[in-house]
């Protein structure tokens, strides 16, 4: 019997280590000798619908190896959410047609909460129809907001970047504070959850170290309290550093910065809360402010990835393939913390139905009493995730990267128009 | 005869490697056995006026060694420009009083163009008065805008950070461009000169690589041309990445983004041109844009410093002390490029009078014909400056840093009120 092929796709916002997961899927599938070709959807599920399938077997092994240190999504990702089966049978039918046409027996979908939901829906459909296709979700999100896993691959590296950047910039502001900038604001990602904002404090070893104030989406913005703390911090240390989540909200739930546009999942697209806070401080306290928005830099900063994160990103990819080969369906490999003190972890297994569409917020016990910092418990949880350096090789002064050919397999189906 | 003491101070915006220069001054002075104490002005020249002088001999050697990889200005810097002698004799007299009270025979001032001017004025005054004080300027500026030196310590590391960051973020945008963000804008420093903006292209190995468009302060902003190129780039590659200098200007010379506030040197304080360009593109072309402003992150990113830059930062500090010991006055060590192909450099010597108040702009032969990119000549000039990695040691997941005690010597003079 001809071996079944596998199909892998990346979904949602990419990370600096998602390609390590891709490499693990490719390498584990190849080593198993039980899987035929490993195809990859070009631009995620959209490429599957369009039958744009990349034949990864045509890539050089030496180039594929570089995926371990290439940020971004090497096969392309997308923000495209499948509707419920009842509303959009056409797309589900198309997916099954593509699976059938390309002899797909294994489907791996690498993404966040929305993507796990998609994978679950496809798994349900294929098993309802009695098709032997193993659908496995693979966790990935810088937001660290998936439930039932101790943490998410992608987060540790952003955390390391943010903790390092705010420590470095803090030293800069401190130097300048006597005559110039007294307040520095770094805006970080985190639409609904403050995991990334919290990580800004991981380089802090004493009260004077930056950041002095963290704004979380979980804590409604209290103007008076924040301004008071900025002033007292400047009085005490001469300067003040704030880490501000893009999702910082007013009491009524509206975002401080709301650009008005939405992504395909219906999430508001944000950015630019830092200048708003800067203006507020400058106008009310008269301090000169500088601000930075790290945006994509933070989630693509492979040059300062966490070794623990990289290892976990690879391992969930490997585990996903092994789950599929052992007959599992509609599950996702999770990361289970075994020990807190000397950090140890192992791979667990969770049902996609329990992961889909659940967002894990920063628990209140991780936020300090005044709402403007993190607790020891938070530090204990996060610090292990940023340990170890995994520097990429450099070429001519910049990190070397994989340059794949991404050659598509021959199409076997008719065109499928998609409203994008 | 009692050995004369030396006085070192940092000035203006700090860099990720200025502390390596400080360490070189301390170590070279100590090894010479000809210099007494090495004092450091707390917060630059301001600390000298206030007689806030740090006794560096009270620091642990192991901690001082860490200056090699600690960003920011460890003794504090300032933006404070001395007036001409004729306008402000009071401050000059005070400096001489402080020099005398602390037996200063050597003055090292580590900064950009304004600071070289200050050093030159002090040198002129001391030699007019027949005082035996050697005044040596030491170059430092991320802006790379000092004349008569091939490049400035601090620039190579920013260049490496910017080139790396835009390559990494470019991979991220490329992954997302099918359904989401099509345009990414990175705003970089550079008030009047486009050196940093130009460095964004150093990771580019072919036309498709980011950045696709660079906006320099030297080239007046041409809205229609830029929008046209954004559109054609998105049509061709699916996405477009722009590196935008904070000093991007309109034809009439006004900054695209002008916050309205000024620093002590009278320079307009900028920031926030990226969101302006983003809005322009979004409104005119309808593309979803993301933008980042790296601000202080870029000039404090010691974690990705250039090894060449670090070496040069140390060497100019060492050379400055040796100049002073060999009787030089009113000079600055420069960096001289010996060879272009296999990059080699040596230390040169320039008169402060020729450096002071001259800004070196990006030459037009470094800017491509369309004004939106760099030439091969520019790449040849810059690429050697970002070579080599000089990673700091990490502690608990973040870079380790020096924590100095910065103990002040006992004051011997009356208080000196300063209008700040």
A291 contact B CB<8A: yes
**E-strand spans in A352-420?**
394-395, 398-399
Strand spans (E) along A151-238 = 183-188, 213-215
Residue A269 has pLDDT above 60, yes or no: no
Pairwise CA distance, residues B13 & B79, whole Å = 8
- Residue B393 burial (CB < 10 Å; 0-12/13-18/19+)? exposed
C-alpha A301 chain-centroid distance:
12
Which residue of B lies nearest to A287 if distances are taken between CA atoms? B261
* B171 band by pLDDT with thresholds 50, 70 and 90: very high
Distance in angstroms (rounded) separating the CA atoms of residues A72 and B171: 5
Do B106 and B136 touch, CB atoms closer than 8 A? yes
A117: annotated active-site residue: no
Work out the minimum CA distance from B79 to partner chain A, whole angstroms: 6
Subunit contact A176:B74, Cβ cutoff 8 A = no
Chain pair A-B, CB pairs under 8 angstroms: 234
Calpha distance A319→A327 (Å, rounded): 12
**DSSP β-ladder status, B53-55 and B38-41:** antiparallel
Q: What mean pLDDT comes out for the span B7-28? A: 97
* DSSP secondary structure, B192-243, as one string: S--HHHHHTTTT--STTSSPSEEE-TTS---HHHHHHHHHHHHHHHS-EEEE
Span A285-313, mean pLDDT? 97
pLDDT digits over A337-360, tens only? 997 678 999 999 999 999 988 889
DSSP A275: H
Average pLDDT, chain B: 94
- Average pLDDT of B178-205? 96
- Mean per-residue pLDDT for B315-337? 98
Return the SS3 of A5: strand
Whether residue A172 and residue B14 make contact (CB cut-off 8 A), yes or no, is yes
pLDDT for position B271: 53
Which tens digits make up the pLDDT trace of B237-285? 999 999 999 999 999 999 987 744 444 455 444 458 998 899 899 999 9
% helix, strand, coil for chain B, step of 5: 40, 20, 45
Confidence of residue A261 (pLDDT cuts 50, 70, 90): very low
Backbone phi, then psi, for B355, in 5-degree steps? -90, -35
% chain B with pLDDT above 70:
96
Q: What is the pLDDT of residue A420?
A: 55
Residues of B in contact with A299 (CB under 8 A): 172
Beta carbons within 8 Å of A141's beta carbon, 6+ residues apart? A12, A13, A15, A111, A112, A113, A152, A154, A155
Q: In chain B, which among 208-247 make CB contacts under 8 A with chain A?
A: none
CA distance A326 to chain B (A): 31
Q: Do B72 and A397 touch (CB under 8 A)?
A: no
Q: Which residues on A lie below 8 Å from B290 (Cβ)?
A: 271, 295-296
Span B116-156, pLDDT tens digits: 999 999 999 999 999 999 999 999 999 999 999 999 999 99
Q: pTM of this prediction?
A: 0.96
Give the Cα separation of B250 and B360 in Å (integer): 20
Neighboring chain B residues of A301 at a CB cutoff of 8 Å:
165, 168
B364/B376 Cα distance (integer angstroms): 12
At B167, the pLDDT band (50, 70, 90 cuts) reads very high
Q: What domains are there in chain A, each with its CATH number? A: 5-141+304-358+391-399 (3.40.50.450), 155-302 (3.40.50.460)
Of A81-85, A286-290, A387-391, B217-221, minimum mean pLDDT range: A81-85
Query: Which of A159-173, A277-291, A322-336, B247-261 has the lowest average pLDDT?
Result: B247-261
- C-beta atoms of A164 and B303 within 8 A: yes
The whole-angstrom separation of Cα A166 and Cα B298 is 11
As a whole number, mean pLDDT of residues A287-313 equals 97
| Helices and strands: H and E segment counts in chain B | 13, 13
Q: Name the pLDDT band for A207 (thresholds 50, 70, 90).
A: very high
For position B357, what pLDDT does the model report? Answer: 82
pLDDT over 90, % of chain B: 87
Q: Across the interface, which of B46, B77, B168 has its CB nearest the CB of A302?
A: B168
d(CA A106, CA A320): 10
Judge whether A392 is closer than 8 Å to chain B, CB to CB. no
Closest by Cβ to B290, choosing from A163, A295, A401: A295
B171-B175-B177 Cα angle (round to 5): 110
Provide the β-strand partners of residue B10. B110
pLDDT grade for A1, boundaries at 50, 70 and 90: low
**Inter-CA distances, B138 with B18, B84, B170, B195, Å:** 10, 21, 36, 20
Q: H or E segment at B376?
A: helix B376-382
Q: Comparing A82 with A153, which gets the higher pLDDT?
A: A153
* Strand A38-41 versus strand A5-10 pairing type: parallel
Token pair for residue A28?
């584990």
Q: How far is B190 from chain A (nearest CA, A)?
A: 15
Contact A13 B43 (CB under 8 A): no
Q: Determine which one of B52, B143, B145, B309 is catalytic.
A: B143
For residue B187, the distance in angstroms to the closest alpha carbon of chain A comes to 10
Query: Hey, which residues does A255 pair with through a beta bridge?
Result: A249
Q: What is the largest CA-CA distance in chain B?
A: 76
Q: Rounded mean pLDDT of A11-26?
A: 97
Statement: residue B377 has pLDDT above 80: yes
Q: Which of A52, A114, A117, A143 is catalytic?
A: A143
- Distance from the Cα of B298 to chain A's closest Cα (Å) equals 9
**CB contact A171 to B (< 8 Å):** yes
Which residue from A196, A69, A161 is spatially nearest to B303, judged by alpha carbons? A161
Residue A344 burial class via C-beta count within 10 angstroms: exposed 0-12, middle 13-18, buried 19 and up? exposed
Q: Tokens 């998936």 belong to which residue? A: A146
**Three-class secondary structure of residue A48 per DSSP:** helix
- For range B190-201, the mean pLDDT: 96
Determine which of B11, B78, B172, B243 to mutate to test the interface with A (most A C-beta atoms within 10 Å): B172
Q: What is the pLDDT of residue B1?
A: 65
Mean pLDDT of A249-258: 88
Helices (H), A239-306: 273-285, 295-300
Reply yes or no on whether the pLDDT at A260 is more than 60: no
What pLDDT sits at residue B263?
43
Q: A163, A202 in Cβ contact below 8 A?
A: yes
* pLDDT one-digit tens code per residue, B344-376: 999 999 999 999 888 899 999 999 999 999 999
Q: Could you give the residue ranges of the DSSP H alpha helices within A33-153?
A: 45-49, 61-65, 89-101, 113-128
Place B420 in a pLDDT band, splitting at 50, 70 and 90. low
């Amino acid at each position: 019997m001809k071996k079944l092929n596998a199909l892998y796709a990346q979904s949602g916002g990419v990370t600096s280590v998602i390609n390590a997961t891709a490499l693990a899927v490719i390498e584990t599938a190849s080593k198993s000798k039980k899987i035929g070709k490993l195809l990859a959807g070009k631009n995620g599920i959209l490429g599957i619908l369009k039958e744009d399938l990349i034949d990864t077997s045509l890539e050089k092994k030496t180039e594929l190896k570089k995926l371990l240190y290439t940020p971004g999504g090497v096969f392309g990702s997308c923000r495209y959410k499948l509707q419920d089966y009842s509303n959009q049978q056409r797309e589900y039918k198309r997916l099954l047609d593509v699976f059938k046409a390309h002899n797909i027996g294994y489907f791996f979908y690498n993404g966040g909460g929305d993507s796990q939901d998609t994978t679950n829906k496809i798994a349900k459909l294929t098993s309802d129809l009695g098709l032997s296709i193993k659908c496995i979700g693979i966790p990935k999100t810088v937001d660290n907001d998936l439930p039932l896993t101790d943490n998410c691959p992608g987060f540790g590296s952003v955390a390391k970047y943010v903790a390092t950047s705010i420590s470095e910039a803090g030293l800069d502001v401190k130097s300048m504070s006597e005559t110039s900038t007294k307040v520095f604001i770094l805006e970080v990602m985190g639409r609904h959850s403050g995991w990334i904002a919290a990580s800004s404090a991981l380089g802090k070893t004493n009260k004077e170290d930056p950041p002095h104030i963290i704004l979380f989406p979980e804590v409604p913005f209290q103007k008076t309290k924040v301004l008071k703390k900025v002033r007292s911090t400047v009085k005490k240390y001469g300067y003040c550093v704030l880490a501000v989540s893009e999702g910082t909200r007013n009491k009524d739930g509206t975002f401080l910065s709301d650009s008005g546009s939405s992504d395909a999942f219906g999430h508001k697209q944000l950015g630019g809360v830092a200048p708003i806070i800067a203006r507020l401080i400058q106008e009310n306290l008269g301090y000169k402010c500088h601000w930075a928005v790290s945006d994509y830099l933070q989630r693509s900063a492979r040059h300062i990835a966490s070794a623990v994160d990289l290892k976990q990103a690879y391992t969930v990819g490997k585990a996903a393939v092994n789950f599929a080969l052992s007959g599992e369906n509609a599950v996702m490999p999770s990361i289970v913390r075994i020990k807190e003190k000397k950090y140890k972890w192992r791979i667990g297994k969770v049902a996609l139905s329990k992961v889909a569409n659940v967002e894990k917020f920063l628990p209140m016990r991780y936020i300090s009493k005044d709402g403007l910092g993190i607790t020891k418990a938070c530090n204990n949880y996060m610090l292990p995730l940023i340990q170890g350096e995994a520097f990429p090789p450099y070429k001519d002064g910049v990190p070397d990267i994989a340059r794949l050919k991404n050659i598509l397999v021959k199409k076997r189906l008719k065109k499928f128009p998609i409203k994008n």
